[in-house]
Amino acid sequence: MVNTGDTAWILTSASLVLLMTPGLALFYGGMVRVRSVLNMMMMSFGALGLVSVLWVLYGYSLAFGDDVGGGLLGDPFQYAGLRGLMEDLTSTEGGLPAMAFVGFQAVFAIITVALVSGAVAERMKFGGWMVFAGIWATLVYFPVAHWVFDFSLGDHVGGWIANDLAAIDFAGGTAVHINAGAAALALAIVLGTRRGFGAEPMRPHNLPLVMLGAGLLWFGWFGFNAGSAVAANNTAAVAWVNTLVATAAASLAWLATEKVVGGHATSLGAASGVVAGLVAITPACSSVSPLGAIAVGAVAGVLCSLAIGAKFRFGYDDSLDVVAVHLVGGLWGTVAVGFLATAAAPAGVDGLLYGGGVDQLGRQVIGALAVLVFSFVVTFAIATVLDSAMGLRVVEEHEVAGIDAAVHAEQSYELGVFGGGTPH
């Protein structure tokens, strides 16, 4: 029998996670300069359209088909076109229809691809981004989703991190955030820095948009984390509360760090702290207590805030700090499970600080590093080949004048219409 309550929850959660991609578009769009707002937002919307189609054609099968390669890859033909899944009404032990799970996992794939775009804001061709996004989803995200999210059940054999390594990643610290952050770093290195990087200010053009986007991400993230229980149960409730308090703690910690280091607590810092907390608690929300979640979030707020300066020290132009927030936050949240997990939480595992020894910590570190290295190396190769074959970066005159006008033949604000001055 279909469990209608769980099905309703998972479809609601999928809808919440889908909202995160437009939320990300607002968050990223507000952070860039005015001449590239639409291009930045279009990268998220482009990912939404492209990955949705690829997921149906073969993505779901690569991620959740029967394993065909030592825990590394699902069978790409088993569910191609979602063959046979419309009739599968009880694909899980809990009685969840297969298509509900398909939809829930689809929106994870979409947001992960979209996250990468923040690292190459204001300088990547839209066509190049779309080609890259399709190839990256196919060669990197879909296989890593198999590693992390595909659990063996009955005769079905899933991925190696979920089953053989048994690392805990409840909702995607490795598959989503470390994966996207490592890819962002590789892509930013291949494309090079923006004109004027490090020499001229590149301030966000619209901070209210940034804060609105962060609010929508926080709202949608309850579907991301609590929905990953794949049931309307106690695990979902614990994940919901932990997501709330970790995020709140991270935002406060980011603001405090800003105040100490720079003398001001900023709206951009509050919004960025929210995202850092959400990232860090994602892998840990089923395995830590609410007090542990506060610790995860607070440390994430400090670490991610301080990590932003790394791009200036090392000379890579991660435009919107995907590396500092998603890679650093994802690494901390994944490894934090090994320290702060408590058997009293739904995952039922004790970390080092709760007497569990270093066993789980080792599993967490191996899983995190495996995804980081795989994503960085394969992304670097994809970007290098595409850059040689088609050129991924816009020409300098378009970068200077603005990608919106040159590529999309539009501009974000028609100021002259309102009598506010001449259009520019």
Q: What DSSP string describes 387-407?
A: HHHH--BPPHHHHHH-HIIII
Per the CB < 8 A criterion, the answer to whether 344 and 289 are in contact is: yes
pLDDT in tens, the chain (424 residues): 899 999 999 999 999 999 999 999 999 999 999 999 999 999 999 999 999 999 999 999 999 999 998 999 999 999 999 999 998 765 555 689 999 999 999 999 999 999 999 999 999 999 999 999 999 999 999 999 999 999 999 999 999 999 999 999 999 999 999 999 999 999 999 999 999 998 888 999 999 999 999 999 999 999 999 999 999 999 999 999 999 999 999 999 999 999 999 999 999 999 999 999 999 999 999 999 999 999 999 999 999 999 999 999 999 999 999 999 999 999 999 999 999 999 999 999 999 999 999 999 999 999 999 999 999 999 999 999 999 999 999 999 999 988 999 999 999 998 765 554 544 4
Long-range contacts of 322-325 (CB under 8 A, 24+ apart): 322/115, 322/116, 322/118, 322/119, 322/180, 322/181, 322/184, 322/185, 323/119, 323/181, 323/184, 323/185, 323/188, 325/181, 325/272, 325/275, 325/276, 325/279
DSSP H helices, 55-141, are: 60-64, 98-116, 126-136
Asked if residue 368 lies in contact with residue 315, where contact means CB atoms within 8 angstroms, the answer is: no
Tally the residues of the chain: 424
**Which residues, in sequence order, are bridge partners of residue 153?**
156
Cα–Cα distance measured from residue 284 to residue 404, given in angstroms and rounded to the nearest whole number? 39
* 202 burial via Cβ count (<10 Å: 0-12, 13-18, 19+): middle
- The answer to whether the beta carbons of residues 151 and 71 sit under 8 Å apart is no
Q: Is pTM, for the whole model, over 0.85? A: yes
**Distances 394 to 123, 196, 357 between C-alpha atoms, Å:** 6, 15, 51
Compute how many other C-beta atoms are within 10 angstroms of the C-beta atom of residue 192.
Answer: 16
Coil, helix or strand for 1?
Answer: coil
The type of residue at 389 is A
Tokens of 20: 């995160």
* Furthest-apart CA atoms within the chain: distance in Å: 67
- Whether the CA torsion 343, 349, 350, 356 is positive or negative: it is positive
Helix axes 142-149, 98-116, angle to 10 degrees: 120
Return the half-sphere exposure (C-beta side, CA atoms, 13 A cut-off) of residue 280.
Answer: 37
Give ∠ CA 338-239-283 in degrees, rounded to 5.
Answer: 35
Quick check: 129 and 51 in contact, CB under 8 A? Answer: no
Output the pLDDT for position 424: 45
Contact between residue 170 and residue 239 where contact means Cβ atoms under 8 Å apart: yes
Cα separation values, 167 from 93, 159, 162, 195, Å: 21, 11, 6, 42
SS3 state at 340: helix
Q: What is the pLDDT of residue 417?
A: 55
φ, ψ for residue 281 (rounded to 5)? -80, -15
Q: Is 40 exposed, middle or buried (0-12, 13-18, 19+ CB in 10 A)?
A: buried
